[in-house]
Amino acid sequence: MGGFVQTYLNSTLFYQQYTLDRFNYSRQDDNPSLARVVNHDLQFGAIDDPLSSSQIQSISAAAVDRVFHIPILLSALTIIFNVPGYSSLNLNADVIAGIFSGSITRWNDVRIRSLNNDFVFDQPIKTATRSDPCSASYELTDYLFTFCSAGIWPSSPTNLVPFPSPTVTFATGGALADYVRNTVGSIGYAKKRTAVRRGLPMASLKNARGFFVAPTDSALQAASFSTLSSLPDIFSNTWDTYKLSSSSYPSAYPSTTYSFLIGFSSVALTNPCLCDFIRFICTDDAQAALPSGYTPLLAVSRAQILQQADRLGGSSLVSSSSSIFHHQSAFLCILLACLSVLLFL
């Protein structure tokens, strides 16, 4: 997931504000990198899903060294498919669960056709799933657990799912998406950024209000805006229970999530340029420069997040939303920080 952080660290706007030197950047696997963050080996990490309350309690060495979560953009879990002649598809949680559990095996199943007028494709369904622990699997099972009818998907959300055979499994989202792109009759799941970069169609999912909504930027922003009043504190241990899927907006995409920077309060206090980097990410210019497939935060969301980020330390954000205070020591701080960025595929 750290690709957008790399974009910022390498951007002309950012490095001219802080230093004339470029920064090193390290992409690392999920679990080893997360472990290094919680062991204080790295400055901060970028993650798709928040730490659980039990994780936070186990890694907080002292009350003064608290874990923070800073939402920095909107993400989404998407259902991707390859059905010739169809660039859109309506799916609800029961049908998705049926497809991935193996009870729906052909595209002309009445349960699919009932959601899609004039749908006539008739081939076996080829499912593509993840074999590794990943945020995409967690978000898929979270959607199914939240929205399926009683008894359809009784399992709690998990990042490692033992999908029944036959299914083709992949260790990365990119490999799964490539398979779907090249295989007629296939269906899988991936983060929005992965689907967009490969030009794959993404299904419209049924939300809490009963509407089928595609994962557009406006649909993700609608989900975040309607739940903004209940946004947890950056030091809260309840981020894992904060669900954008609970949005009551008819236009909200139901599998919307935040992506986060995580770290420790002690790191922020001793490295104030980390706070400035957070503020930079929340500026209009930085959000407008997000790579394809990422959804920017609404201005009202960024304002609320920045208000909380001020408690971490560092310099104040100046009045212009596109300007950042310059730190003479930023080179060393950001060099260390950028080495800690996590990549979640």
pLDDT tens for 274-311 read 777 777 788 888 888 788 889 999 999 999 888 887 77
pLDDT at residue 213 in the model = 98
DSSP assignment string, 86-143: -S--EE-HHHHHHHHHTS--BTT-HHHHTTSTT----SB-EEEEE-S--HHHHHHHHH
DSSP state of 324: -
Whether the predicted pLDDT of 21 surpasses 50: no
Q: Mean per-residue pLDDT for 222-226?
A: 93
Tokens coding 230: 């209940």
The model's pLDDT over 145-193, given as tens digits with 9 standing for 90+, comes to 999 999 999 889 999 999 988 899 999 999 999 999 999 999 999 999 9
Dihedral sign (CA 29, 31, 35, 38): positive
The model's pLDDT over 70-96, given as tens digits with 9 standing for 90+, comes to 998 999 999 999 999 999 999 999 999
Q: 205 falls in which pLDDT band (50, 70, 90)?
A: very high
Q: Mean per-residue pLDDT for 202-227?
A: 96
Q: Mean per-residue pLDDT for 213-230?
A: 94
pTM: 0.83
Whole-number Cα distances in Å, 139 to 16, 142, 145, 166, 176 = 37, 5, 10, 22, 16
Bridge partners (DSSP) of residue 204 are 90
Q: Are strands 186-191 and 204-206 parallel, antiparallel or unpaired?
A: unpaired
